[in-house]
Structure 1
Amino acid sequence: MKMISVYDSVGSILSHDVTQIIPGEFKGRLFKKGHIIKEEDIEKLLSIGKEHIYVWEPEEGQLHENDAAIRLANLVLGEGVAKSEEIKEGKVDFFADRDGVLKIDKEELLKLNTLGEIIVSTLHNNTPIRKGEKIGATRVIPLIIEEEKIIKAEELIKNKIIYVEEIKPKKCLLITTGNEVYSGRIKDAFLPVIKSKLAYYGSEVIRQVILPDSKERIIEEIQKGFAENVDMIICTGGMSVDPDDVTPTAIKECGGELVTYGSPILPGAMFLLAYYNDIPILGVPSCAMYSKRTVLDLVLPRVLADERLSLNDIAAYGHGGLCLDCKVCTFPHCSFGK
């Protein structure tokens, strides 16, 4: 790459994007890499402080920022992710190519970003994502980078760092318990909440059954769900530690594997998760009826993406598991669950 005076640049080809910044009004590309300088461009370049431009003359062992960014994108991107067709100012943007849950290998990402002169930036791991949403980007810091640095990155990173787990529609059995609901003294408020949250991800409640606080009846209905081959069972009501709240005990005794009863998430401390073979059973506490965001919003998309959650997965939510109940909710693009 060589530097020439703007006044001598007519007919030359830019080797990099030229950015214009007008404070408070505009920041973007004034000229694109490959642009052929014309006489009328000289004044524009001078107005942004460019008295010289650079013409890159390739040398062996060096990469232009655009070429390096493409190699980095190809290195880190896995299934369910697309990259921008246009490279702007040496940066490649990443977008979700399907609805799902964004997965980031944070350890591998840290390795890559500690190499120096290379950056990859993403949204948080486990963020629910819609197709087309921007989820990350990559670029190199210098305009020209030693190819050896990119080769080192390619040798270091063995697995894809960024991918989107696809959410699969599921049919759910909803079991609502509580003597007060069963007797008709109060109206069930869980069904519209659960239906709405499932529908957002293309899933549905195929059947709801309302039961008294009877351990035997709850076990019976859960086992009926197994026989019906439902994809998921959600139990609501009776999730606290009161003596007559028997739903957790019923779930534990239905023949499945208990993952956890309790979570470090607020709202949602009394959450329960179990599995019967591949069928997840969620015990959802009453906070889901009145709180805008709860443990259910964090766990549900991962369950719908067929991720088998462990106790460690739930315990990890202690860091970031406090919902601030903001007046204007921006979930999932907030600190909750991150």
Structure 2
Amino acid sequence: MQFGPVPLSEAEGAVLAHSLSLGEVRLKKGHVLSAEDLARLGAAGVREVIVARLDEEDVGEDAAAEALAEAFSGSNIRAANASTGRVNLHATEAGLFRADRSLVDAFNAIDPAITFACLADHSAVQPGEMVATIKIIPLAVSGASLARALGAIGVSGLAQVRAFRSLRVGLIATWLPTLKSSVMDNTRQLLASRLSLSGSELEEEIRVAHDAEAVAGEIVRMAQLHEMIVVFGASAVTDPQDVIPAAIRRAGGEVERVGMPVDPGNLLVLGSLGDVPVIGAPGCARSPKENGFDWVLARILAGEPPTSMDIAGMGVGGLLKEIPTRPQPRQPVVKQSRSPGADVAVVLLAAGRASRMGDAAGHKLLAAFDGEVLIRKMAGTALASRAGRTIVVTGHRSADIAASLAGLEVKLVHNAEFASGMASSLRQGLGALDADVSGALVLLGDMPALTPAHLDRLIEAFAAHGGTAIIRASDGERRGNPVILPRSAFAEAMALAGDVGARALIESGTWPVVDVEIGPAARLDVDTPDAVRAAGGVTESPGAD
């Protein structure tokens, strides 16, 4: 491949290296230049362009990325559409993501032009979750390098998702006078929620005295009925001869390991009775926060029960820190009758500077429509819809925005990094959602024509498509806002940066996109004083801070 600047007279058929935007002339990186393109560029005063000229054996960036992604088919991994040389890979099943570091390193050593980045080995994933990305750095790669990379992917074990098995599970809970029954009830619910991620079911719970003989008897009985046994002790394990490991031995089973180098999770016990795994859960597993119990449980559910040496190797990365922006994925699931859309939450973005309003006209979200401040009107629209809850992300003039929302049942989340762009507000909003939310309706704060009925129409479409598609409002011909993001898109949305919104996710091709016509309201926003007045609003008092 030849790369560099060339005069327009020599650029026909070459690949544009950098995007160009000159008045009405807009050409994207990777575009193959035509004679018409060159004529328009010449008319705009351009004399040379930076291009790539592909040799006969070269393969374009998108074609190369798609070929590499296709090589992962059959590994419970599917590829999104390639764009600018990148293609993202997603799990098709709930399971355990496996990646062999030595094989991945060898792949990335083939050619710096070809890169593969993925989750950590043994990461638990859900369907639709992004597990890896392939990026072709230049505009094309040599056919020889591509062939070597394809051969490396063909080596068994480079990367795959091992699907979780659906197991029948029994719970043995020991009690002492100091342990409240409500704690035991919550523990049962939380374990059931953890198991539900794999389709497994907690079929039975038995509560016995904190005594090795009593626990051993239940292990023997349950091993005849269930495919896995979890024991929650009323008191923490302090010795290999303590109640839970002693009970496993008395039942005729084997103790693989007492203790693990993962914190929280140090006091885990792992054993078995025949082919039935028995886990003595550490006390931290009574919490939804990630801990060593989750790591061991995921491996067993994926058909890879860890050995003592496997657990001994978990120390690097075994210090688990809670990430404030990451929703807790294992909150107890409370089954109750809910109205349609109750598991969709609204993320109302109200953090921007509204710079196009100018200093004299004040903040657009504090303009008045029918005597009501715009941001309060937008929050009221969200609350009157079928959505279950509303998060409002504030930033610029957060105190004034908050005061305008006084008395409304909304949760305020402040984005201290609002100046960096929309992506930071989206991260804050999604990070504040509860774990049982299946979709986020991303609502801009400056769209006064939207009504609760419009939002309900989007929510109904989201439910009709099983909560797996991106739902986007349109005016029949043009795409607009709001959009609903499914939970499977949250991780990628929280990885966005800069002044980027949901469009990047839509264009990735990872999720189906369903357009729902709601009329002109999908395109009506008020970014300028003239737009406020044209929409029937009154700008904030001049001179507002």
Q: Give the TM-score taking structure 1 as reference length.
A: 0.80
Confirm whether residue 106 of structure 1 aligns to residue 101 of structure 2. Answer: yes
1:130 — aligned with what?
126
1:246 — aligned with what?
243
Distance in structure 1 (CA, Å) of the matches to 2:217 and 2:247: 9
Distance in structure 1 (CA, Å) of the matches to 2:43 and 2:70: 34
Counterparts in 2 of 1:87 and 1:46: CA distance versus 1, 3 Å: farther
Look up the equivalent residue of 1:173 and give its one-letter code. G
1:180 — aligned with what?
177
Distance in structure 2 (CA, Å) of the matches to 1:213 and 1:37: 83
8 Å Cα contact 1:77/1:161 also seen in 2:
no
Distance in structure 2 (CA, Å) of the matches to 1:20 and 1:129: 39
Structure with the bigger RCO (C-alpha within 8 Å, sep 6+) is 1
Distance in structure 2 (CA, Å) of the matches to 1:223 and 1:73: 47
Structure 2: state its 5+ residue gaps. 330-490, 492-545
Look up the equivalent residue of 1:296 and give its one-letter code. F
1:270 — aligned with what?
267
Distance in structure 2 (CA, Å) of the matches to 1:45 and 1:241: 80
Q: CA deviation at 1:165?
A: 1.1
Q: CA deviation at 1:317?
A: 1.6
* SS state at 2:28 partner: strand
Distance in structure 1 (CA, Å) of the matches to 2:200 and 2:47: 56
8 Å Cα contact 1:76/1:161 also seen in 2:
no
1:145 — aligned with what?
141
Q: CA deviation at 1:257?
A: 3.0
Q: CA deviation at 1:288?
A: 1.9
Confirm whether residue 161 of structure 1 aligns to residue 153 of structure 2. Answer: no
Counterparts in 2 of 1:150 and 1:57: CA distance versus 1, 3 Å: closer
1:202 — aligned with what?
199
Counterparts in 2 of 1:83 and 1:242: CA distance versus 1, 3 Å: closer
2:86 — aligned with what?
91
Q: CA deviation at 1:327?
A: 4.2
Q: CA deviation at 1:306?
A: 1.7
1:323 — aligned with what?
320
8 Å Cα contact 1:14/1:37 also seen in 2:
no
Counterparts in 2 of 1:39 and 1:65: CA distance versus 1, 3 Å: closer
Confirm whether residue 282 of structure 1 aligns to residue 270 of structure 2. Answer: no
Q: CA deviation at 1:4?
A: 5.3
1:169-213: per-residue Cα shift (whole Å, max 9, x none)? Answer: 22210000123279x787524212212222233222111100102
RMSD value, Cα:
3.5
Distance in structure 2 (CA, Å) of the matches to 1:50 and 1:231: 72
Look up the equivalent residue of 2:192 and give its one-letter code. K
Distance in structure 2 (CA, Å) of the matches to 1:186 and 1:288: 15
8 Å Cα contact 1:240/1:270 also seen in 2:
yes
Aligned pair partner of 1:296 in 286, 293, 297: 293
* SS state at 1:92 partner: strand
* SS state at 2:204 partner: strand
* SS state at 2:314 partner: helix
Counterparts in 2 of 1:70 and 1:292: CA distance versus 1, 3 Å: closer
Distance in structure 2 (CA, Å) of the matches to 1:78 and 1:44: 49
Look up the equivalent residue of 1:169 and give its one-letter code. S
Look up the equivalent residue of 1:234 and give its one-letter code. V
Aligned pair partner of 1:216 in 213, 217, 222: 213
The residue correspondences of 1:6-21 to structure 2 (distance < 5 A) are 6=8, 12-13=12-13, 15=15, 18-19=18-19
Counterparts in 2 of 1:45 and 1:103: CA distance versus 1, 3 Å: farther
Aligned pair partner of 1:30 in 28, 31, 38: 28
1:236 — aligned with what?
232
Q: CA deviation at 1:8?
A: 7.4
1:92-147: per-residue Cα shift (whole Å, max 9, x none)? Answer: 22111222221111110011112232211112112221212222122333333332
8 Å Cα contact 1:235/1:247 also seen in 2:
yes
Q: CA deviation at 1:29?
A: 8.3
Structure 1: state its 5+ residue gaps. 22-27, 334-338
Look up the equivalent residue of 1:98 and give its one-letter code. E
Q: CA deviation at 1:34?
A: 5.0
The residue correspondences of 1:63-78 to structure 2 (distance < 5 A) are 63-75=59-71, 78=74
* SS state at 2:264 partner: coil
Distance in structure 2 (CA, Å) of the matches to 1:50 and 1:293: 58
Look up the equivalent residue of 2:224 and give its one-letter code. A
Counterparts in 2 of 1:39 and 1:281: CA distance versus 1, 3 Å: same
Distance in structure 2 (CA, Å) of the matches to 1:204 and 1:45: 68
Look up the equivalent residue of 1:51 and give its one-letter code. E
Confirm whether residue 190 of structure 1 aligns to residue 187 of structure 2. Answer: yes
Q: CA deviation at 1:249?
A: 0.8
Q: CA deviation at 1:279?
A: 1.7
> Percent identity among equivalent residues?
24
* SS state at 2:304 partner: coil
1:262-284: per-residue Cα shift (whole Å, max 9, x none)? Answer: 10011111101112333211100
Look up the equivalent residue of 2:76 and give its one-letter code. G
| Residue range with higher mean Cα deviation, 61-70 or 308-317 | 61-70
8 Å Cα contact 2:19/2:27 also seen in 1:
yes
Counterparts in 2 of 1:176 and 1:64: CA distance versus 1, 3 Å: same
Distance in structure 1 (CA, Å) of the matches to 2:237 and 2:51: 68
8 Å Cα contact 1:76/1:159 also seen in 2:
no
Distance in structure 1 (CA, Å) of the matches to 2:48 and 2:240: 80
Distance in structure 1 (CA, Å) of the matches to 2:130 and 2:152: 26
Count of residue pairs the alignment pairs up: 320
8 Å Cα contact 1:239/1:248 also seen in 2:
no
Distance in structure 2 (CA, Å) of the matches to 1:57 and 1:242: 67
Distance in structure 1 (CA, Å) of the matches to 2:63 and 2:85: 8
